[in-house]
Amino acid sequence: MFELSTDVGNLKELREGDFSAYDAIYLGDFSCPEYPNNFSSHAELLEAGLQHVHANGQKAYLRLYAVPGNDDLDWVGDVIDTALQLPFDALEVHNLGVLRMLRERGCTAPIHLGVFGNLYTHETAKVLKDHGVTRVYPNPELSLDEVRYIAEHADIEVLVPVHGKIPLVISETCFILEHSEEGAEGGCGEGSCSYQCTQEHWLKRGRDDGSRADWSLKDTGRMTLSGKDLCMVEHGERLAGMGLKHFYVHNKGEAPGYAAAVGHIYRDALARAFAGEAAGDFAPALDTLAGLAREGLCNGYYFEGAGQRYIGRDR
């Protein structure tokens, strides 16, 4: 009927978390190869992760590093070589060079284009289909109508994020480390990471006197995320009515338990919407979701506004 997926960075999180609300798991943190035991950069952990997911009756997709430099291509190639020997249900790429590497290696598994793949149109989706891409994650700037247009006119699966922070920026170096004592001593990129990203970091701009807009962004080191959590729980009926079928909860950077709490709410809401049942009262779900969102909720760009706006019950 529909697929609900989320992301998990490593084996420990996979084993300790509750991901039972999801049909599929994107394994790996595509933003940071240094993230501890990251599936995206540890070929030796792929089989265990894959088996765990498949044993739960879920699909397993492998995320490949999003912004590899020339020095990264060898190890990214090693990860790909290992992955292609395993029955992953799909591999996710963000980088067109990595897409080319997959094709050069004879990849026959489905390929998903990730959020930093800059997919804006159906015409571009058609070009990427010729390179083996079967699913695209349209740029978050697109409206729901545009997302649907791409799905219909390129005849391709589209991944529709329904909850969680919106990836806004990705960089090849770690902003947290660069502004730490270690980074000042040249530690960045030399395997000396002490994982300060386990603490929440935020960028803020407001001033008490109101002379600056009160804007917040979350920073995970190599990625900057929206301050607010995208929330579409009130709009399941509309999503189902648009023929969209592949939904996603962004989990990277969130505390343990986030994916479980959010996932069960959306499993229920989407199941009702797809079954044509009355949606019921969203207030309890919204209260829970708002409680998990330090800076509040938004709809991203889905309703043709800038990313921070929320349409629905006043949040």
Partner 1 sequence: MIARLLAPAGSLEMAQAAVDQGADIIYVGPLGFSRRPYESEMSDDAIREAATYARSRGAELRVVLNTFPTPYDFGRFVDKALRYAADGASGFIVTDVGLMCALRREIPDTVLHVSIGSGISNLADAAFYRDAGADVIILPYRWDVAEIESVRRASDIGLETFLFETVQTGKLCPGKCIMSSYLRFRDWKEVEGSRDFHGSANRGAKECYRVCQANWEFGAVGADPVEIKLRRDARLMLAQLPAFVAAGVSCFKLSGRERPVGMIRDLVRFYRRAIDEVAAGATDLGHHAAELAELRGRWVREKAKRVDTLMDRAASYVA
Tell me which residue of 223, 254, 200, 22 sits closest to 115, measured CA to CA: 223
- Partnered with residue 170 across adjacent β-strands are 223
123 binds partner 1, rule: CB under 8 A:
yes
By C-beta, is 14 or 102 nearer to partner 1?
102
Number of residues binding to partner 1, judged by CB under 8 A: 67
Closest residue by Cα to residue 147 from 138, 155, 156? 138
Rounded to the nearest whole angstrom, what is the least distance from the CB of residue 156 to partner 1 in the complex? Answer: 12
Closest C-alpha among 93, 37, 35 to residue 68: 93
Among positions 283-312, residues that touch partner 1 (CB under 8 A) are 301, 304-309
Q: Is 61 helix (H, G, I), strand (E, B) or coil?
A: strand
Contact call for residue 125 and partner 1 (CB under 8 A): yes
Of 60, 88, 72, the closest CA to residue 34 belongs to 72
Report d(CA 153, CA 243) in Å as an integer.
13
In the complex, minimum distance from the CB of residue 181 to partner 1, in angstroms, rounded to a whole number? 12
What mask, x for binding partner 1 by CB under 8 A, covers residues 51 to 80?
----------------xxxx-xx-------
CB of 149 to partner 1, least distance (A): 4
Which x/- pattern over 213-252 shows residues binding partner 1 (rule: CB under 8 A)?
Answer: x-x-x-x----x-x--------------------------
Residue 158: C-alpha distances to residues 139, 195, 277 (Å): 11, 33, 24
CB of 186 to partner 1, least distance (A): 10
The token pair at 311 is 């349409």
Residue 152 beta carbon to partner 1: minimum distance, rounded to whole angstroms:
10
Query: Does the footprint of partner 1 cover residue 187 (CB under 8 A)?
Result: no
Least separation in angstroms between residue 70's CB and partner 1 is 5
Q: Which is nearer to partner 1, 20 or 192 (CB)?
A: 192
Q: What is the spatial distance between Cα 2 and Cα 158, in angstroms, rounded to a whole number? A: 12
Distant-in-sequence, close-in-space partners of 99: CB < 8 Å, separation ≥ 6: 93, 111, 113, 128, 131, 132, 133
Number of Cα atoms under 13 Å in the Cβ half of residue 91: 31
By CB under 8 A, tell whether 256 contacts partner 1. Answer: no
135 binds partner 1 (CB under 8 A): no
Rounded Cα–Cα distance for residues 228 and 297 (Å): 5
Residue 48's CB is within 10 A of a number of other CB atoms, namely 14
Q: Which residues of this protein are in contact with partner 1, per CB under 8 A?
A: 67-70, 72-73, 95-101, 116, 118, 120-128, 139-143, 146, 149-150, 153, 166, 168-173, 175, 178-179, 188, 196, 199-205, 211-213, 215, 217, 219, 224, 226, 301, 304-309
